[in-house]
Amino acid sequence: MEKPVLSLIGPSIRTHLWPMFYEVVKQSTTLPFEIIFAGPSKITDSGMPDNFIYIQTSNIKPVQCWQIAATKARGEVIALVGDDLIFSPKCFDEAYSIYCQKQNYKAIIALRMLFRGVDQTWTCVFPRYNPGPDKNPLLVPALAIVSKKFFSEMGGYDRSFLFADANFDFFLRAYHESGAEFFWTKDGESDEDVGWAVGTHGINNYDGGVLEYSDINRLEQLWYPNNGPLLKERTAPLDPFIMDDTIYTISQGANHSKWI
């Protein structure tokens, strides 16, 4: 298999979506790519091409699946994705071109983020409920390409999270602690809950409320206590995953109940 430039990583248990997702990825880039999903689906043969890799785990939390998949990625750049996303043609080519132009491995390039066709690219501001004049930096959304080297240098995701906000925490650390730069594509887009993926919105695969609100509270504790101004330094150091044999079987740090 050709060494990938782009590694798309994420959690997944919905094996029936994989063929459609793979076809969408194929038209989204001319770069050599791989898809690495991790999760508790019990499969013996995915029937997918060689550049689609599934890492079977026990019922560990989603962010731990992200960490496992990211660690296994071989691409120069990685991007966290969901199995229910639609990508515009050659969107990752545009993102990677911007990345190369910046000549800075700490440049993070985001696709424009849509949900059911509505552009939400500029909605990632923090604090969430009281942004005020100090709401910057405007954070890139979840779907952004990041240098694998930079991801590793940053220590990956924090295991005190369960799900989505681990990504925002990573971007805030990258920006404040290591001088990351954020950029956005002009035309490249991702969309969710449209086309073949209607009705498959990803949060429904987990104990949604528990995961979401636990992470919201954790992000607030670390970056804007009591919904105050956004800090430039975390209130606690990174709590990294320990990549030992138990990474596949036991949730580390904060625990969740189940995938559904």
Q: Give the model confidence (pLDDT) of 86-99 as tens digits.
A: 999 999 999 999 99
Model pLDDT, residue 180: 96
- Per-residue model confidence (pLDDT) at position 102: 98
232, exposed or middle or buried, with CB in 10 Å at 0-12, 13-18, 19+? exposed
Region 202-231: what's the mean pLDDT?
A: 74
CATH classification for the domain delimited by 6-248, as one of 3.40.50.300, 3.20.20.80, 3.90.550.10, 3.30.1650.10 = 3.90.550.10
CA 238 vs CA 50, 78, 170, 233, 253: distances in Å: 35, 21, 10, 11, 12
Whether the per-residue pLDDT at 192 is higher than 60: the answer is yes
DSSP lists the bridge partners of residue 119 as 114
Q: Does 205 have pLDDT greater than 90? A: no
Over residues 174-194, mean pLDDT: 93
**Which tokens is 89 given?**
């043609």
Of residues 247 and 198, the one with the higher pLDDT is 247
How far is it, in rounded angstroms, from Cα 250 to Cα 240?
15
Query: What ranges do the domains of the chain cover?
Result: 6-248
pLDDT for residue 141: 74
Instruction: Quickly state the pLDDT bin for 134 (edges 50, 70, 90).
Output: low
> 260: pLDDT confidence band, cut at 50, 70 and 90?
very low
Report the alpha-carbon angle 184-233-145, nearest 5: 25
pLDDT at 49 over 50: yes
Spatial contact of 41 and 221, defined as CB atoms under 8 Å apart: no
**pLDDT at res. 193:** 84
pLDDT in the model for residue 142? 75
Percent of the chain with pLDDT over 70: 89
Which residue has better confidence, 134 or 192? Answer: 192
